[in-house]
Amino acid sequence: MSWVENKTLRLIGRTLSQILYLARLGITVEGIGSNLFRFLEVTGGGMVLLIQTLWLVPRPPYRLREILRQALTVGWQSLPLIVVVLGFLGMITVLELNFQLSRVIHNLEYVPGVAGILMFREFGPTVVAAMLAAKVGAGFTAEISSMKNTEQIDALEMLSVNPVHYLVVPRFIATLAMQVALSVIGVAVAFVTGFLISQPRFNFQSYLTTMGHFVGVEDFLNLIAKALLLGAVVPIAACYYGFRAGAGAKGVGEATTRGVVTSILVIILLDFTINVVADKILEVVIQ
Amino acid sequence: MTVLTRQVQRIRGPIEIGVMAFLREIGAMAMFLAATVRHIFKAPFEVQEMILQMYQVGVRSVPIVLISGFFVGGVVVIQFNYALSLFGAEVYLGGITTSGLLREVGPVLVAIMIVGRVGAYITAELATMKVTEQVDAIRCLGVNPVQFLVVPRFLAVSAMIFMLTILGLLVALLGGALVGNLILDINLSFYFANIRKLTAAWALFTGMLKSILFGILLATIACYQGMKTEGGAEAVGQAVNRCLVHCSIAVFLADYIIASLAALTYGLAEEIIF
């Protein structure tokens, strides 16, 4: 039996040494420093691209056909995903609020109102933006990074066409517009599915009335503003990582992953910042 | 009548094709999962490869999960504070936030972050190997590609999503409490007072069950999409995109199913546990 022990021990020892070796990485001074520098580089680069894009948006030539083509890809082809995901999210929100509110205020009458508030102010814009990051952002990064790898971006520069103006601006405008449209559609779908799941308790009239008591115009404006701000994240992050992709298929794959992760992370951070700022503004207004 | 019949005929074809394609996809995925599970218990065990994948999936996702978990905790506490203030029920803020994070928001959030980070990575890696015929080369060497490539990734993703969810939940709870205290000026003892009353062990169990299910789903979809890729570099990009979309839908669908099951059984379960 000694060989079994020996083999097992060897395996455990190898495993532990490997874990220790791997865990060492990134905690060194060098690791922290290089991560910090990369963070600063990416933040700065993203901001520069954003400013360039905003600067170039009002300048001619206006590539209307290209914008419409991108809007078709971003909007129409993401519609099934948004409808399915937001549909389930609407039902999940109502189920969860049924559970939570029954314990806190012992009354399920207000569930549609709270669900509407959460949907308009938080989940609608954020989840749509995250889904677009996965569906559309990955496509943008893959497209631009493979263009870079096949030297098509250099060719554009040779033709004295600004690559940012030609590639980023149409995608930026299309995503911004479609993000707003898809957020509104998504919230509407979530409203319908939420109504269906709470069916025996409410009829359509009472559901709508209860929601109307809680959700006002300012919540709708909140939805639009958040959709516009979060919608700017996806094209900028995706295109930025596309432009700085490494060589070959590996570079494209890495850029895609980084683009999606960064988009979702920035969406969460920006959403948090907007909430904090909105909270402070609300406080000032009330005072 | 004939017009109507013709219209029905015209849309029946595409719908039938769509439904059949959907069912075929689900069936192929189930077969793939069954093959993977069968190979888990067969020697040789690729322990080294599994540890490497666990590092790639787990350790390298820790910073993202920590940052996003903290801020999502903050977002949830701000929104619930607003919603509860409409009823004058801010007393329950701590309990509701903790319960909501444990049951719903935490597991879904970690799953979505991992889809972007890991699903794309695994699909791209496997698809590239498939497209460049490395998978065929492995098979030529007499090694089973499912055992050599898929099983370590499957186990690593399933285990790591569970552990990252625990980590993410801890940070999200911390973020909720800190943001509540620093930004909304809520007394921490006030915040913690209701947690015990409103958060059952069942909430944690629901969250953990969800994270295990999400892990299995994501691992299956990512490996399946990678292994079935055919064609060139373009097919790799399409496979990654499909993986992201299918994973997102699967996460919300599974979340809905567990939420509705929990809604049916929570009264019973709480009676049993307390």
Distance between CA atoms of residues A275 and B184, nearest Å? 11
Mutation to test the B interface, candidates A35, A74, A92, A215, most B Cβ within 10 Å:
A92
B75 vs A142: CB contact, 8 Å cut-off? no
Other Cβ atoms within 10 Å of A171 Cβ, number = 28
Mutation to test the A interface, candidates B128, B130, B134, B252, most A Cβ within 10 Å:
B252
CA–chain centroid gap for B155, Å, is 14
Distance between CA atoms of residues B125 and B84, nearest Å? 46
A22 interaction partners in chain B (CB closer than 8 Å)? 51, 55, 59
The answer to whether A144 and A239 are in contact (CB under 8 A) is yes
Distance between CA atoms of residues B134 and B49, nearest Å? 16
Per-residue confidence band for A6, with pLDDT thresholds at 50, 70 and 90: low
B103 interaction partners in chain A (CB closer than 8 Å)? 96, 99
Distance between CA atoms of residues A203 and A196, nearest Å? 10
pLDDT at residue A245 in the model: 82
B198 vs A104: CB contact, 8 Å cut-off? yes
A269 interaction partners in chain B (CB closer than 8 Å)? 67, 71
Residue A164 φ then ψ, to 5° = -65, -45
Distance between CA atoms of residues A77 and B50, nearest Å? 37
3-class secondary structure, B58: coil
Distance between CA atoms of residues B261 and B247, nearest Å? 21
Q: Between A and B, how many CB-CB pairs are < 8 A?
A: 164
A122 vs B79: CB contact, 8 Å cut-off? yes
Shortest Cα–Cα distance, B145 to chain A (Å): 21
The answer to whether B240 and B121 are in contact (CB under 8 A) is no
B72 vs A276: CB contact, 8 Å cut-off? no
B92, closest residue in chain A (CA to CA): A104
CA–chain centroid gap for B177, Å, is 25
Q: Strands, DSSP E only, in chain B?
A: none
B74 interaction partners in chain A (CB closer than 8 Å)? 272, 275-276
B89 interaction partners in chain A (CB closer than 8 Å)? 104-105
B72 vs A268: CB contact, 8 Å cut-off? yes
> Half-sphere exposure (CA, 13 Å, Cβ side) for A255?
29
3-class secondary structure, A31: helix
pLDDT at residue A175 in the model: 92
B48 interaction partners in chain A (CB closer than 8 Å)? 14, 18
Q: For a pLDDT cut of 90, what percent of chain B falls above it? A: 7
Does B266 reach chain A within 8 Å, measured CB to CB? yes
A252 interaction partners in chain B (CB closer than 8 Å)? 233, 236-237
pLDDT at residue A184 in the model: 93
Asked whether residue A1 carries a pLDDT value surpassing 50, the answer given is no
Asked whether residue B267 carries a pLDDT value surpassing 70, the answer given is no
B197, closest residue in chain A (CA to CA): A103
The answer to whether B102 and B200 are in contact (CB under 8 A) is no
Distance between CA atoms of residues A202 and A224, nearest Å? 28
Handedness of CA A210, A214, A220, A226 (dihedral sign): negative
Distance between CA atoms of residues B54 and B37, nearest Å? 18
Distance between CA atoms of residues B108 and A264, nearest Å? 13
User: Six-digit token pair at A276?
Assistant: 């904090």
Does B255 reach chain A within 8 Å, measured CB to CB? yes
Q: What is the mean pLDDT of the segment spanning A13-18?
A: 68
Q: Between A134, A249, A275, which is nearest B128 by CB?
A: A249
Mutation to test the B interface, candidates A268, A279, A287, most B Cβ within 10 Å:
A268
Higher pLDDT, B222 or B196: B222
Query: What single letter denotes the amino acid at residue A251?
Result: G
What's the complex ipTM? Answer: 0.84
Domain ranges of chain B: 50-261
Q: What is the mean pLDDT of the segment spanning A74-95?
A: 90
Asked whether residue B274 carries a pLDDT value surpassing 60, the answer given is no
Q: pLDDT for A111-129, tens place per residue?
A: 888 888 888 888 889 999 9
B260 interaction partners in chain A (CB closer than 8 Å)? 91, 95
Q: What is the mean pLDDT of the segment spanning A147-158?
A: 86
Domain ranges of chain A: 1-56, 64-286
Does B45 reach chain A within 8 Å, measured CB to CB? no
Per-residue confidence band for A181, with pLDDT thresholds at 50, 70 and 90: very high
A92 vs B99: CB contact, 8 Å cut-off? no
Does B121 reach chain A within 8 Å, measured CB to CB? yes
**Smallest Cα–Cα separation from A137: which of A269, A44, A267?**
A267
Distance between CA atoms of residues B216 and B121, nearest Å? 16
Higher pLDDT, A248 or A94: A94
Q: Between B55, B75, B84, which is nearest A122 by CB?
A: B75
Does B190 reach chain A within 8 Å, measured CB to CB? no
B253, closest residue in chain A (CA to CA): A88
Whether omega for the bond prior to residue B145 falls within 30 degrees of 0, making it cis, is no
Q: pLDDT for B7-44, tens place per residue?
A: 777 777 777 787 888 888 889 999 999 988 888 888 77
A14 interaction partners in chain B (CB closer than 8 Å)? 48
Distance between CA atoms of residues A258 and B215, nearest Å? 21
| Least confidently predicted of A20-34, A246-260, B29-43 | A20-34
Asked whether residue B66 carries a pLDDT value surpassing 80, the answer given is yes
B99 interaction partners in chain A (CB closer than 8 Å)? 100
